[in-house]
Structure 1
């Protein structure tokens, strides 16, 4: 997986671009579905990353997938106040009302539509951003 150049910059804008890339990968992991996309983008102790990956792995194991993009993100904004080497990023968007379907296309469950407003914390490790957590 190639992380875009903008998301590799060690700047607040780079952290914003990284979180945007991360959230696109979650959408891909759940609609394809595909396990293994999330762990390389998260710090090993990231509980949110583990939860996103667990969902992807469960979808793969059951032969299920999201029928369309689970969420759309409308704003990524770097925030001040994070400890050294870290960057807060505010994420706004919408979790869509979307069906989860089996391999035959039958609906097995449906996520409700709701707004998304969370803060992500990224950490600069080596030469890249990683997601530290989200909540």
Structure 2
């Protein structure tokens, strides 16, 4: 699908149809974002196998610390890497930083792959995380972070530089889960916190 389907963007993964479970399904923390995550839920089951150190060499020092502040720095860094992927249609960066079980990551990476397939890119970074703060108790080696995910209403361009669609702007309160591995943090999932 060209244009409008791809223009859901990062926040659109949560704002458009991603905030509730379809009828007849049991909500689970690793499924589509749940309506009200609790401290006992985790955004995903466990981190994926870690990539080689060369894949994480660009991670800022602050985001390599196994602390709540390091987890927040990693979540911000992940969004920067995802935005770079959206503006270049290259999924390698965020894929290396994502847990295999991360549903948000999978949907975002599928968007990046679709952009690449359609010879399209975002004109600017489509989304950002703001107001990162502790998100409650988490299992060992995981940190939950509450944040505001802001979609800026960015244009999607074709390979001729023509605008093919524009994201809807909006915000969503989210719970971001990150997990610590031998090679550092990995994004476990992003779920609606409202």
Is the shorter-chain TM-score for this pair beyond 0.5, marking a shared fold?
yes
- 3-state DSSP class of the match of 2:92? coil
Which residue is equivalent to 1:111?
Answer: 167
C-alpha offsets along residues 54-103 of structure 1, whole Å, 9 cap, x if unaligned?
Answer: 11111111110111120133222132311111100112142011111101
Answer with 1 or 2: which has the greater Rg: 2
Instruction: Indicate if the aligned counterparts of 1:94 and 1:113 stay in contact, CA closer than 8 A.
Output: yes
**CA-atom RMSD, angstroms?**
1.3
Between stretches 42-51 and 8-17, larger displacement belongs to: 42-51
1:50-89 alignment runs, 5 A limit: 50-89=106-145
- 3-state DSSP class of the match of 2:71? helix
Higher-strand-fraction structure? 1
Question: Which residue of 32, 54, 72 maps to 1:16?
Answer: 72
TM-score by length of 1: 0.93
Count of aligned pairs? 135
Is 1:46 the equivalent of 2:102?
A: yes
Is 1:101 the equivalent of 2:163?
A: no
Q: Please, which runs of 5 or more residues in structure 2 have no aligned partner? A: 1-56
Is 1:125 the equivalent of 2:181?
A: yes
Is 1:91 the equivalent of 2:147?
A: yes
TM-score by length of 2: 0.66
- 3-state DSSP class of the match of 1:2? coil
Superposed displacement of residue 22, structure 1: 0.2
- Structure with more contact order per residue of length (Cα contacts < 8 Å, sep ≥ 6): 2
Which residue is equivalent to 1:33?
Answer: 89
Q: Distance in 2 between matches of 1:15 and 1:78?
A: 10
Q: Please, which runs of 5 or more residues in structure 1 have no aligned partner? A: none
Superposed displacement of residue 16, structure 1: 0.2
Q: Distance in 2 between matches of 1:53 and 1:37?
A: 10
